[in-house]
Amino acid sequence: MTAGSAAHPGGAVPDPRRRKRLACLLLFSCIFLYNFTRHYLGTSDTVPNMYLPVSIILHGDFYLDRFPTLPRINQRPLPYFLQFRNGRVISSYPVLPAIMAVPVYLGPVLWLKAEGISYGSPIFSEMCIFSAKLAASLIAACSAVFVFLTLAAYASQSKAFALAHLYAFGTSAFAIASQALWMHGPAMLFLSIAAYLWLCRPKRLIAAGAMLSLAVAARPVMMVAAGIFTMYVAMRRPRELPRFLAVPAVVAALLLAFNLHFYNSLSGGYREVNADMLQHQRLPSVWTSAIPTGLAGLLISPSRGLFIFSPFLLAGFWGGIRVLRDSRWREWQPLALSVFGQVLLFSCYSSWWGGMCYGPRLLSEACPYLVLLIAPVIPEIDAKRLRRVTFQVLAAASIFVQTAGAMLWTGNWYADPTDVDIDHARLWDWKDNEITRTLRNYRWSPESPHKPPSTESLPR
- DSSP per residue over 225-282, as a string? HHHHHHHHHHHH-GGGHHHHHHHHHHHHHHHHHHHHHHHSSTTTTHHHHHHHHHHHHT
Per-residue pLDDT band for 447 (boundaries 50, 70, 90) equals very low
* Residues 156-195 pLDDT 10s: 999 999 999 999 999 999 999 999 999 999 999 999 999 9
Query: What is the mean pLDDT of the segment spanning 115-131?
Result: 95
Query: What pLDDT was estimated at residue 350?
Result: 94
Query: What pLDDT was estimated at residue 148?
Result: 98
pLDDT at 11 over 60: no
Query: What pLDDT was estimated at residue 323?
Result: 97
Per-residue pLDDT band for 14 (boundaries 50, 70, 90) equals confident
Query: What pLDDT was estimated at residue 15?
Result: 84
* Residues 365-400 pLDDT 10s: 999 999 999 999 999 999 999 999 999 999 999 999
DSSP letter string over 287-324? Answer: B-S-HHHHHHHHHH-TTT-HHHHSGGGHHHHHHHHHHH
Query: What is the mean pLDDT of the segment spanning 86-92?
Result: 93
How far is Cα 108 from Cα 124, in angstroms, rounded to an integer? 9
The 3-state DSSP class for residue 210 equals helix
Per-residue pLDDT band for 450 (boundaries 50, 70, 90) equals very low
91 contacts 182 by C-beta, under 8 angstroms: no
How far is Cα 215 from Cα 213, in angstroms, rounded to an integer? 5
The burial of 369, by beta-carbon neighbours within 10 Å (0-12 exposed, 13-18 middle, 19 or more buried), is given as buried
* Residues 295-344 pLDDT 10s: 999 999 999 999 999 999 999 999 999 999 999 999 999 999 999 999 99
How far, in Å, are 181, 257, 425 from residue 310 at the CA level?
A: 21, 38, 22
How far, in Å, are 51, 151, 255 from residue 58 at the CA level?
A: 11, 41, 23
Query: What pLDDT was estimated at residue 442?
Result: 77
* Residues 398-419 pLDDT 10s: 999 999 999 999 999 999 999 9
Query: What pLDDT was estimated at residue 7?
Result: 52
Length of the chain: 460
Helix axes 205-218, 223-236, angle to 10 degrees: 160
DSSP letter string over 11-37? Answer: GPPP-HHHHHHHHHHHHHHHHHHHTSS
Query: What is the mean pLDDT of the segment spanning 218-232?
Result: 97
Q: Domain-by-domain residue ranges, the chain?
A: 42-440
Query: What pLDDT was estimated at residue 443?
Result: 64
In 23-123, which ranges are E strands?
A: 82-85, 88-91
Per-residue pLDDT band for 446 (boundaries 50, 70, 90) equals very low
Per-residue pLDDT band for 454 (boundaries 50, 70, 90) equals low
Mean pLDDT of the chain: 92
